[in-house]
């Protein structure tokens, strides 16, 4: 008789970096869901690509080139079982839309989006989304059940 171990899902955290709400939602979510392995694309530590601060953020953001961002997203997403995206009202985030499309089209992983209204998604993004929730917790619960 064999014993199966259930591992925590690995969830990629997508969301606006600039011109949006603070990044506290990422840390709050990780704290509130210790049973989930979160992949934070904002954490550049351990890559050796640039010098980072105590939070894993590049000390000199000019050291990161656009191609580096895409490469890191691909590396991180390859490790993910699902993608969680935060799409706050009134905030334009091209990177988040790219991550949603990449997760669905290139990696075939489920995508859950936290937003106040589905109207925030737009037709292009909505076509790549599996679930829309009104809270962080709703989206994580859905992903836990569907990865």
Domains of the chain plus CATH, in order, are 10-146 (3.40.50.450)
> What pLDDT shows up at residue 1?
56
Hey, which of 11-15, 19-23, 45-49, 64-68 has the most confident mean pLDDT? 11-15
| pLDDT of residue 68 exceeding 70 | yes
Query: Which pTM was predicted?
Result: 0.84
> What pLDDT shows up at residue 58?
73
Task: Answer yes or no: are the C-beta atoms of 77 and 107 closer than 8 Å.
Answer: yes
Treating both helix axes as pointing N-terminal to C-terminal, what angle do 66-78 and 94-101 enclose, rounded to 10 degrees? 40
**pLDDT per residue as tens digits for the range 27-67:** 889 999 999 999 988 776 666 667 777 766 777 777 777 78
Mean residue pLDDT across the chain: 84
Task: Specify the DSSP element, H or E, that contains 95.
Answer: helix 94-101
């Amino acid at each position: 008789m064999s014993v199966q171990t259930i591992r925590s899902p690995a969830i990629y955290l997508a969301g606006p970096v600039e011109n949006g709400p603070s990044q506290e939602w990422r840390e709050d979510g990780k704290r509130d869901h210790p049973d989930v392995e979160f992949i934070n694309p904002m954490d550049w530590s351990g890559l050796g690509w640039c010098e980072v601060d105590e939070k894993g953020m590049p000390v000199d953001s000019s050291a990161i080139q656009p191609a580096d961002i895409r490469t890191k997203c691909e590396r991180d997403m390859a490790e993910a079982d699902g993608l969680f995206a935060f799409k706050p009202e009134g905030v334009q985030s091209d990177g988040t839309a790219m991550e949603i499309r990449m997760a669905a089209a290139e990696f075939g992983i489920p995508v859950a989006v936290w937003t106040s209204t589905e109207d925030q998604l737009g037709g292009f993004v909505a076509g790549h989304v599996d679930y829309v929730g009104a809270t962080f917790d709703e989206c994580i619960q859905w992903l836990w059940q569907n990865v």
